[in-house]
Amino acid sequence: MLHFADSLTFSGRKVVAAWAALPFPAFSGSSLPDILSAHQQEVPWKLLSSCRQQKVSCCFAQSVVLRGIRREKSTRSPLHSCESPEQVLQQFLHTQFPGAFSTSHLLQQPCDTRPPFPQFFSPLLTRRGFLPAKAQGYHPSGGVESIPVLAALQSSPGLSWLLSGLGRQLRAPDVRRWSSFFTAGVEHDDFQEALEELRTLAQCYETGFETSEDEADSD
């Protein structure tokens, strides 16, 4: 895990954002090229971390894992020329995030959602967690037994806002008035040094095209 984290957090960066699609939106019998071709304008997974930017158009590095998509033959699509599903996903990532360091993995085994997994899924899903190719009403009473899932960790410029906001929240109160804070063994100088390190870390995620939150506040 240490080596994996290091591979995504070069150039002084130490934090990544989490993304997920649970379940991954796919129709029964569709191939991976067909599925991803329908999402050329926006990636089909959502941000889980509390960053302000909900749509990320660029990133520095990312690792994506997709599981539970079958190796169906593809119809004609922009990604149909790829020789394997792994290449399809990698090509999609390069198209969506050009210049980013991307790793991707495909696993055939879906995510098991049988009890005690909570059944919070749409009644339109099949037992395997896919959208039906045709309108079929509600899924069987047994619920959704498994789902395709995509999860990703991504180092992106949006983390600059998240880290800057954390620094502002920590600087707002006067911690010298909290005796219990320092009786726990924290020195005031060490605390200030940690705040400065957090500010420096936030700057590592800036791309030069946006103004940092700290600079905006000072204006």
Q: How confident is the model at residue 105 (pLDDT cuts 50, 70, 90)?
A: very high
Would you state the pLDDT for residue 79? 66
What does pLDDT average to over the chain?
81
The Cβ-side half-sphere exposure at 96, using a 13 Å CA radius, reads 25
Would you state the pLDDT for residue 204? 92
Res. 190: pLDDT tops 50: yes
Res. 216: pLDDT tops 70: no
Would you state the pLDDT for residue 107? 92
Nearest to 176 by CA among 187, 162, 165: 187
- The whole-angstrom separation of Cα 125 and Cα 14 is 38
> Which residue carries 């991954």 as its tokens?
24
| Across 86-97, average pLDDT | 89
Contact 74, 36 (CB under 8 A): no
Which phi-psi region, left, alpha or beta, contains residue 62 (left: φ > 0; alpha: ψ -120 to 50)?
Answer: beta
Would you state the pLDDT for residue 66? 95
* pLDDT tens, position by position, 115-170: 899 988 888 889 999 988 765 555 555 689 999 999 999 998 888 888 998 899 88
212 exposed, middle or buried (CB, 10 Å; 0-12, 13-18, 19+)? middle
Cα angle: 37, vertex 38, 40; to 5 degrees: 65
Res. 97: pLDDT tops 80: yes
* pLDDT tens, position by position, 29-76: 888 888 888 888 788 888 887 766 656 778 899 999 999 987 665 555
Q: What percent of the chain has pLDDT over 90?
A: 25
Could you state, in order of their start, the residue ranges of all structural domains in the chain?
1-155, 160-204
